[in-house]
Amino acid sequence: MQRNGFEPDDFTQGSVISSCANLASLEEGAQFHCQALVSRLISFITISNALITLYGKCGSMEDSYQLFIEMNTRDEVSWTALLTGYAQFGKANKTIDLFERMLAIGLQYNRTSGERTSIF
C-alpha cells in the first residue's frame, strides 16, 4: 500500500494491528505501534484500543496498561480490552480492581444482553 504512495488511515492501521493481535504477533504489532506514533494515528481511539488488545493478547500487560493510562479518552472498548488481558493471564486482583474502577466512573455491564452500556 505504502509502496504505491498510499498512507494507511486509522481504520486500515487498526485492522492491521487487530490482525497482529489475533495472531499474537507481538513483534509485528509493535512495529505498527511505532508507525502509528510516527504517523500520529495513535491519537485515534481505534488505534489505541487495538494496541491495548494486541499487548494484552500477547501477555505484555505493562505495555497494555501504559497505553491505557496515556489515552486522553477511553471508551467501553478500552476498558474491556484491558480487563480481558488481565483476566486471560490470571491477574484476578487487577481484573477486579479495574472492573470496580470502571463501575465507579459510570460504566456498567448489562448482564442481560452482555453489552457494555453507560449510565449517562
- Is the predicted pLDDT of residue 112 greater than 60, yes or no? no
Task: Please state the pTM of the whole predicted model.
Answer: 0.84
Q: How far is CA 25 from the centre of its chain?
A: 15
pLDDT value at 79 more than 50: yes
Residue that wins the pLDDT comparison between 115 and 24? 24
Mean per-residue pLDDT, 62-89: 94
pLDDT at position 9 over 90 = no
Short-list 3, 1, 5, CA closest to 15:
1
Given a cut of 70, is residue 102 above it in pLDDT?
Answer: yes
Q: Which residues contact 49 (CB under 8 A, 6 or more apart)?
A: 14, 75, 77, 78, 81
Sign, CA torsion 33/38/43/46: negative
Asked if residue 113 has pLDDT above 90, the reply is no
- In DSSP notation, the chain reads -GGGT----HHHHHHHHHHHHHTT-HHHHHHHHHHHHHHTGGGSHHHHHHHHHHHHHTT-HHHHHHHHHH-SS--HHHHHHHHHHHHHTT-HHHHHHHHHHHHHTTEEE-TTT--EEE--
Give the Å distances, CA to CA, from 106 to 43, 55, 58, 88, 109.
24, 26, 29, 24, 10
